[in-house]
Amino acid sequence: MTLDMFTDKVYSVVLVILAIMVLVCLFRAVIGPRVPDRIVSVNMMGTMVMVIIAILAVKNNEGYLADICVLYAMISFLAVVVLCKVYLGVYLEKKKTDDKKKEETEDGDH
């Protein structure tokens, strides 16, 4: 067995393992239990997809896949930032509403 065949098999095994890990992260993103868990799993899926694209670029000797990997990294980063911003906005709004309800009940008791 030549070195090229060996590296090709190693790349294939690593791609299968990464695909399984992406499915596990997808499962975590669906079941949660909390929103931060979901955000982290989405970020992990993005990172693993970037690694998959990079391995495919090396395995298939295709340079354009490296450019796609960089673009995917930027889009994935922006997606996680937007998700965090939305979650933070929802959290702060809920906290503000809860504080207002708490103040109303305290004023009603006195």
Tokens 């890990």 locate to: 21
Confidence band for 110, pLDDT divided at 50, 70 and 90: low
Residues 6+ apart with CB under 8 A from 38: 28, 29, 32
Q: Is residue 94 part of a domain?
A: no
* pLDDT tens-digit readout, 49-65: 999 999 999 999 998 99
**Residue 61: its H or E element:** none
Confidence band for 69, pLDDT divided at 50, 70 and 90: very high
Taking the C-alpha atoms of residue 106 and residue 110, their distance in angstroms, rounded to an integer, is 7
- Count: domains in the chain: 1
Q: Is residue 72 part of a domain?
A: yes
Q: Is residue 67 part of a domain?
A: yes
Q: Quote the percentage of the chain above a pLDDT of 90.
A: 59
Taking the C-alpha atoms of residue 91 and residue 95, their distance in angstroms, rounded to an integer, is 6
Q: Is residue 63 part of a domain?
A: yes
Q: Is residue 70 part of a domain?
A: yes
